[in-house]
């Protein structure tokens, strides 16, 4: 048996997230079908993360074990031959037997993109949040600084008993906000993320921009562990899993 690590990218606009669902098309289902056509096996695929409906990935990793002897350098081309244009395998390599795409992960980086113009950009439909009010970038940066470090992020998590259990502490290594013309990018790097954590942080920073939350309120929101005190959950289309660290 060989353990293979695949790195791919995908446009999540027309998929109901990564994980296989009964009544909706997912990225995993499409990838799994392509893998079966290459290996002839029903491989047990381990994904690095769960992404929701409409969320994209610049880098997504899966691992699986196979008895097939296809040379590892040929795997990307073989899979891409059966995958739609919305999914592309970038690389493949053999890894140690105990490697797991999710549990071996040391951290991830997400980017949330906002088109900040009163006129929508039709070429970015489904790939950014269109936000037409002028953003107060400095206030957002001031609020974001309070989120860096190790905190209990209960206030920034949608509680789902099927997903989140145990310790809600996460260590945010960096949280930056960058504006290039009308495109604003919120980039968050952490050792792990709770359910909807990035989207709730993005929604909270938008509330800060609107003056509904003050930057100096952030420590109290973190300390309270109360989801109702943070901002709304931002829509999914602006979210990208950007990098995965092992």
By annotation, the residues acting in catalysis are 52
Per-position b or e across 39-65, b if 16+ CB within 10 A of its CB: beeebebbbbbebbbbbbbbbbbbbbe
Mapped onto helix, strand or coil, the DSSP state of residue 122 is helix
- CA–CA distance from 2 to each of 71, 96, 100, 109 (Å)? 11, 8, 13, 28
Q: Which residue has the tokens 């893998």?
A: 35
**Other CB atoms closer than 10 Å to residue 168's CB: what's the count?**
17
CA–CA gap between residue 67 and residue 121 (Å, rounded): 47
Q: How far apart are CA 73 and CA 93, in angstroms?
A: 7
Neighbours of 3 (CB within 10 A): 18
Strand segments, DSSP code E, in the chain are 2-10, 46-47, 56-66, 87-95, 107-115, 129-130, 149-152, 169-180, 183-190, 239-245
Instruction: Measure Cα distances from 19 to 46, 172, 217 in Å.
Output: 10, 25, 36
Q: Tell me the torsion sign for CA atoms 193, 129, 125, 109.
A: negative
């Amino acid at each position: 048996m060989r353990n293979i690590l695949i790195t791919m990218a995908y446009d999540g606009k027309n998929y109901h997230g990564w994980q296989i669902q009964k009544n909706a098309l997912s990225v995993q289902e499409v990838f799994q079908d392509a893998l079966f056509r290459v290996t002839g096996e029903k491989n047990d695929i381990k994904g690095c993360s769960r992404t929701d409906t409409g969320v994209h990935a610049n880098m997504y990793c899966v691992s699986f074990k196979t008895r097939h002897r296809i040379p590892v350098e040929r795997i990307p081309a073989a899979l891409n031959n059966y995958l739609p244009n919305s999914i592309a395998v970038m690389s493949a390599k053999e890894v140690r037997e105990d490697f797991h795409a999710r549990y071996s992960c040391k951290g991830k980086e997400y980017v949330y993109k906002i088109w900040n113009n009163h006129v929508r950009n039709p070429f970015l439909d489904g790939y950014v949040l269109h936000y037409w009010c002028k953003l107060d970038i400095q206030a957002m940066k001031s609020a974001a600084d309070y989120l860096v470090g190790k905190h209990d992020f209960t206030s920034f998590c949608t509680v789902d008993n099927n997903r989140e259990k145990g310790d809600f502490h996460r260590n945010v290594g960096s949280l930056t906000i960058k504006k290039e013309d009308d495109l604003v990018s919120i980039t968050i790097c952490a050792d792990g993320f709770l359910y909807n954590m990035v989207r709730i942080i993005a929604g909270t920073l938008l509330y800060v921009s609107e003056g509904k939350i003050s930057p100096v309120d952030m420590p109290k929101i973190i300390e309270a562990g109360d989801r109702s005190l943070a901002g709304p959950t931002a829509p999914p289309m602006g979210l990208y899993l950007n990098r995965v660290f092992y």
